[in-house]
Structure 1
């Protein structure tokens, strides 16, 4: 197994919104609210709107699902922004483990969330605080 790169989000990132999730049932609301926030803050616009929103919602769902499944509740999803990108930061409260990039077999039902995030994001990394383990993914601002 390969470990994910360790790095905090850019220090100039500004927090825009935060969502707290307690169960997988909260993911649908997260996707809808995230799409609304990205549009409201003008982070995504133009003809690529649906594609970018879809990719961001997909990565948010994958990272939050991993946190809900493998971490300790609650899961906290934060939307941040810099001049160049916007960032999804997903935290859980299991600081005893480090995220790993799994080599999922073709017939496995899971294990591809971080790989997917890496393939469609500008950058993916993780960091820990005294209380949380955070994984973040960044996306260019169109």
Structure 2
């Protein structure tokens, strides 16, 4: 197992949208709303699954699922904008654990959310506030 780097997202990042999730059933609404938000804030929707909007939504779903499954609700998903990138920040209220990259067995059904975030984004990190543990990932505009 490995650890993620500990650092907050760039300080000049500005909040664009925020969602509060209490249950996994709310993930479907998050996906649709996040796609709309990305379009409103300048990303065009493409047909390919490796295009940025699809990757942001996929990573948001994975990180929010992890937070709902292993953290303390509510899960807070925030879309931020910095100079040349979008930043996705997912927070839960469990300060007792540190995010770790799992050694996964290819036959396991879970444990790949952070690995997926690392492979699909420019950078991934985590930080804690007095109330939340946050994992963030950045994506090119």
**3-state SS in 2 of match to 1:78:** strand
Matches within 5 A, 1:50-129: 51-129=51-129
Gaps of 5+ in 1: none
Deviation at 1:45, TM superposition (A): 2.2
Tell me the residue number matched to 2:37: 37
Tell whether 2:134 aligns with 1:134. yes
Match of 1:20 in 2: 20
Residues of 1 paired with 2:139 and 2:123: CA distance? 8
* In structure 1, C-alpha distance between the alignment counterparts of 2:109 and 2:95, rounded to whole Å: 25
- In the superposition, the TM-score normalised over structure 2's length comes to 0.95
Measured in 2, the distance between the counterparts of 1:37 and 1:61 equals: 15
State how far apart, in whole Å, the 1-side matches of 2:35 and 2:48 are.
10
RMSD over aligned Cα, in angstroms? 1.4
What SS class does the counterpart of residue 108 from structure 1 fall into?
A: coil
Aligned length: 140
Per the TM alignment, residue 108 of structure 1 is displaced from its structure 2 partner at its CA by 0.5
TM-score where L is the length of structure 1: 0.95
Unpaired runs of 5+ residues, structure 2, are none
Structure 1, residues 73-130: CA drift from partner, whole Å, max 9, x if none? 0000000001210000000000111000001101101000000000010000000001
Q: 1:46 to 1:59 in 2, by over 3 A?
A: closer
State the match for 2:6 in structure 1.
6
